[in-house]
Chain A
Amino acid sequence: MKFAYYPGCSADGSGIEYGLSMERTAKILGFELQELEDWNCCGATSGHNTNKLLSLALPARNLAIAEKTGLNMMIAPCAACYSRHRNAEHTVQHDPEMKKKIEQVLDMELQGTTETLSILDVLVNKIGTDAIAAQVKNPLTTMKAASYYGCLLVRPVEHTGFDDPEDPQTMDKIMKALGADAVEWSHKTECCGAALVTSRPDVGTRMLYRVLKDAQESGAECLVTACPLCMLNLDMRQTAVEKEYKEKFNLPIYYVTELLAIACGDEPKTVGLEKHFVEAGQYLQTVKVRAQEAKAAAEKAAQEAAAKASASKGKAAKTGDATAEPDQKKIEAFKTALTKTPDKMAAKLVADAAQAGILASILDEKRIEKLANLMAKDMELAQKAAAAFVQQELKRQGECQD
């Protein structure tokens, strides 16, 4: 797959890690980026605050350049660039009068064939999370990440439309594909303050504080972003926020592409992780250690279970066939008990009263057969199976509610 590429001004400046990791992401996942020739700044917020026509003409010049490449999909990783290009694209396609004016200003012709895409859209809808998961070498198991989308990747939805504007999921899906835990939190799409942090720090700092605070209170240990301005504010200005509000956050901030490259085997240095203001390497080490511990614990548990199983098998062999086969009479007795007094039996199998109720309500012939067999053989195994039934049911109910 080949895309036209609009890096945006920050890609070799304040957001240099984003530029580096974007290129690595493309290499790892096997898609090609063709940088636009002599592209210009999109004008960002300053443009549309000052002159509407100018704010459309600046990105439209890049769209015209992209049209000449013959590629009809263009990646703009920066959220502001993405939003401005998307807006210009929409105007060119739907407002013929404005289109004429833009062409006059540019002295260029526009077809309106280029579609600007955000990196989240590309990763989830063009590449796919399965393809990403297939490339993961060092999964970020036990990482607790708050996916932070900010404003312009998901709003206004008539221009973006690839994700829900209130509870977007694309970045969460990518984080899960990388093995991390995606924390549920409420400030996913709240504004970080953008340029207000510079021009009106009294307003911007409070907006920034609210985002960091909510992430921390929701149990996140880091934030993930796909916008260089969100990164600049959350990372570079975090110390100032901590000072203003006399609270410690110490939350490392990552670009989604940085984590993707690192999980797929890159060294943190390759994507410029040491350039962050809030130290970001240490947390990755912590995650690595925790992931190894979790893996070791799982392996140990599996070994123990295997040992136990073989031991009981040996025992059964010694005592002879008569007791090795569970008594048919016993099974029958359990079956009748389960059918006639499901509540009582369920309480024996599951300690939690509410869960026992659920178990009693879902007992059918198949499940009774299985449980009766297990109860005759090994009570512990039967309890485990019962717990699994309850979990399955709870999950099914959860899915229905969605």
Chain B
Amino acid sequence: MFGSYYRTEKIWQIRWKGARKLENAMLLSPANSSQKALISGIEAEAGTSINLCYQCGKCTGGCPAAFAMDYPPRQVIRLLQLGLVEEALNAESIWICASCETCSSRCPRGVDIASLMDTMRREALKRGKKDKRVAAFNKAFLFNVKNFGRTYEAGLLLQYNLTTGQLFKDMGLGLPMMQRGKVSVLPEKIKARDEMKKIFERAEKLGGEQ
């Protein structure tokens, strides 16, 4: 029932056309052509436009993790608007974002900020700029999915702790988890494990082209 009311795609398309006219405004920014190309690439992959943002700050106001960020969401967009894309990719904020989507769902201009954050995390990862702890968690998580087809919680925590050098982190929770039958010692495996590996390989190959 709320779907039609909140559905923003149509409005977004209209706004996108309007934003195209603003392209001249970009001429005023100090960004060079490679920075501009990078920003356009990020916008295209995120499926949104930073030129729509009029800096009202509603995203930052609602962001549950803004208290820990060096550049809160509004400022991340501002950096991109000014062409300071390296600064934005280096920001700790993009790794603190929990992908809760509050910003995107509240933005009065229909900017998909969460999707931008997501795209910037992937871009930063490609460039070797990353938050070690978050990236280590993601890597450990996907390693299990690739090899077993499922999440393997015990393996995930062990691998995460080993790679981040926090050997005894959450050890106090491991035993109670096992006692409650909430974590199995061995991984659950699906039958189509070869297929999973192929999916990962092809996605890495094709996904890189974007």
Contacts and interface: CB of A to CB of B under 8 A. Distances in A.
A53 B122 contact: no
B204 A155 contact: no
A40, A47, A189 interface centre (most CB from chain B within 10 Å): A40
Nearest to A65: B192
B133 interface: yes
By Cβ-Cβ distance, the 8 closest A-B pairs, closest first, are A161-B3, A191-B100, A53-B207, A54-B203, A9-B151, A46-B141, A46-B138, A151-B100
Given A15-B182, A45-B138, A163-B2, 19 more contacts: A9-B153, A13-B188, A40-B145, A41-B144, A53-B207, A58-B199, A190-B64, A191-B64, A191-B98, A194-B98, A194-B100, A195-B98, A198-B170, A199-B160, A200-B133, A203-B65, A206-B68, A207-B98, A210-B64
Interface in B194-210: 195-196, 198-200, 202-204, 206-207, 210
Nearest to A201: B169
A151 B101 contact: yes
Interface stretch (B6-14, B25-33, B72-80): B6-14
A198 B173 CA distance: 12
B177 interface: yes
Contacts of A191: 64-65, 98, 100, 102
For the complex, would chain B's binding face be called helix, strand, loop or mixed by DSSP majority? helix
B206 A202 contact: no
A125 to B, nearest CB: 9
B96, B157, B173, B207 interface centre (most CB from chain A within 10 Å): B207
B162 interface: no
Contact of B122 (A43, A50, A190, A206): A50
A389 to B, nearest CB: 34
Given A40-B149, A157-B2, A277-B176, A45 B122 contact: no
Interface residues of A, number: 61
A193 B63 CA distance: 11
B210 to A, nearest CB: 7
Contact of B2 (A48, A161, A193): A161
B203 A53 contact: yes
A199 B202 contact: no
Interface stretch (A99-107, A176-184, A394-402): A99-107
B45 interface: yes
A105 B181 CA distance: 36
A13 B203 contact: no
B111 interface: no
Interface of A: 9-10, 12-16, 38-41, 43-54, 57-58, 61, 101, 104-107, 151-152, 155-158, 161-165, 189-191, 193-196, 198-200, 202-204, 206-207, 210, 236, 275, 277
A106 B201 CA distance: 11
B99 interface: yes
A41 B176 CA distance: 25
Interface string B58-96: 000000110110000000000000000000000000011
A13 B101 contact: no
Contacts of A104: 202, 206
A203 B93 CA distance: 11
A43 B145 CA distance: 7
Nearest to A42: B145
Contacts of B176: 277
